[in-house]
Amino acid sequence: MNRREFVVLAAVAPFALRQGVARAASAQHALVTCDAESRLALVDVDALRVVGSVRTPPDPRAIEQVGPYAVVCHTAAGVVTVVDRHRVRHTLHDFVEPRYVAAHPDGVHAFVTDSGSSGVVSIDARSGRALGKVKLGGWARHVTVDASGRRLWVGLGSAAASVAVVDVSDLGRPRHVRTVPTPFLSHDVGFAPDGSVWVTSGEKRESTVFAAGGRLRQRLAADTAPQHVTFSRDRAYVTSGADGTFRVHGPAGDLLRTTAIPVGSYNVQHGPGRVLTPSLDRGTLAVLDDHGRLIRVIQVAGSCHDACFIA
């Protein structure tokens, strides 16, 4: 190597190093629950491969990003953990069967359903403390929070006749304010960006859209129940794990695309430019783009219940 080549390489190397560090820092990652293995798999969503693992208490099921952390429900163990990409930071006890999590828009607080005690618990993910609890009828399960962080809709079972509405404007004193009957036995719930609430079925090939006040606005065709739903700014994504299908709907509910995904892909999460759906049956993570086009199916574990993006 001559002196000129050396000088050029010396000038370029710091820039290349900075670019490499920037790419690593900006890479999207996801945590995927490995239900039977007491761990979470860390997946690089850009490189489309498993890059690490986080050991946890047994039976990690549902997971949700809350600010820089993720909150995990360990249903059979009766505990909730707060994790980052490397380790468990907090373990919250005094749950019976924690099921699902909704993240408060402030990136600090979250709401955990406990089907074993038929209620919802508000928590502080940063400090690992429970703040308040409300008891509900039925078997509290799927949960969603509005953009203001003041109102929850809570599914009351895997196939329930109604949905509970909870006021969480006071995190220390959540209040059950009303119950909304559904036209079928309902399963998942999700606030859309426009403030409407999508409620999926636990029994029929159908999903619904409600106004935030509880008025039924629309009924939509779906694949085999139960379905699960998540949203980008202008699309709704509905999975049917039993059929292995992924439906993309426009703002008016119009069907834009249907994509085949692994059977058993029930839960679904949207993040920047990507949608994730893990498979209970196959132990895979399907990664799709905003338009619902399948990018890759990644083998992760024997069984994967849920996934979320992580900072």
Q: Where are the domains of the chain?
A: 28-310
pLDDT at 23: 37
Say whether the peptide bond before residue 174 is cis (omega within 30 degrees of 0): no
CB 153 within 8 A of CB 164: yes
State percent of the chain over pLDDT 90: 90
Query: Does position 259 have pLDDT exceeding 90, yes or no?
Result: yes
The single residue listed with the structure tokens 């002196």 is 3
Is pLDDT larger for residue 23 or for residue 299? Answer: 299
What is the gyration radius of the CA atoms in the chain, in angstroms?
Answer: 20
Predicted TM-score (pTM) of the model is 0.91
From CA 57, how far away is CA 79, in angstroms rounded?
8
Q: Does residue 13 surpass a pLDDT of 80?
A: no
CA–CA separation, 137 vs 120, rounded Å? 11
Tens digit of each residue's pLDDT (9 = 90 or more) over 43-63: 999 999 999 999 999 999 999
The class of domain 28-310 in CATH terms is: mainly beta
Predicted pLDDT at 1: 37
134-165 per-position pLDDT tens digit: 999 899 999 999 999 999 999 999 999 999 99
Q: How far apart are CA 100 and CA 84, in angstroms?
A: 18
**What does the alpha-carbon distance between residue 82 and residue 70 come to, in Å, rounded to a whole number?**
6
What are the tens digits of pLDDT across the range 89-131? Answer: 999 999 999 999 999 999 999 999 999 999 999 999 999 999 9
Contact 29, 42 (CB under 8 A): yes
pLDDT mean across residues, the chain: 92
- For the chain, give the number of residues: 311
- Nearest one of 223, 102, 98 to 171, comparing CA atoms: 102
pLDDT of residue 27: 79
